[in-house]
């Protein structure tokens, strides 16, 4: 399954330049890997290894977290994350949590 991070909010970037916070890496179905930098207002997600990324805005969620834009969203709680790219859903697990 080919997933690309294409939307009007897409950027090429170095994740280290976006914020001083460390990104959280997620290993997903179909050999997809995401790096997510969280802030109170936004999340910057990139697909590894190409660093093509997209900015998502924080949305209200009854439980866990939700960040979205017109084309993509991430929703999660704890180490689990669901990535939705224009209706293509993939399940992800935080790599950092699994290694603790």
User: Which pLDDT belongs to residue 22?
Assistant: 85
Residue spans per domain, the chain: 10-98
Asked whether residue 16 carries a pLDDT value surpassing 70, the answer given is no
pLDDT band at 7 (very low <50, low <70, confident <90, very high): very low
- Cα–Cα distance between 95 and 70 in angstroms, integer? 27
Sequence-ordered strand ranges (E) for the chain = 10-12, 24-28, 33-38, 42-47, 52-58, 65-68, 72-77, 80-85, 88-94
Query: Among the listed ranges 26-30, 34-38, 45-49, which one has the minimum average pLDDT value?
Result: 45-49
What's the predicted TM-score (pTM) here?
A: 0.75
At the topology level of CATH, where does 10-98 sit?
Answer: Lipocalin (2.40.128)
């Amino acid at each position: 399954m080919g997933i690309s991070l294409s939307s009007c909010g897409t950027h090429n970037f170095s994740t280290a330049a976006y914020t001083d916070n460390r990104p959280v890496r997620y290993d997903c179905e179909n050999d997809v890997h995401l790096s997510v930098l969280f802030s109170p207002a936004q999340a910057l997600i990139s697909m590894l290894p190409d660093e093509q990324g997209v900015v998502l805005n924080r949305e209200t969620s009854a439980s866990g977290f939700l960040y979205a834009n017109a084309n993509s969203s991430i929703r999660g709680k704890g180490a689990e994350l669901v990535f939705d790219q224009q209706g293509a859903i993939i399940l992800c697990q935080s790599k950092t949590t699994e290694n603790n």
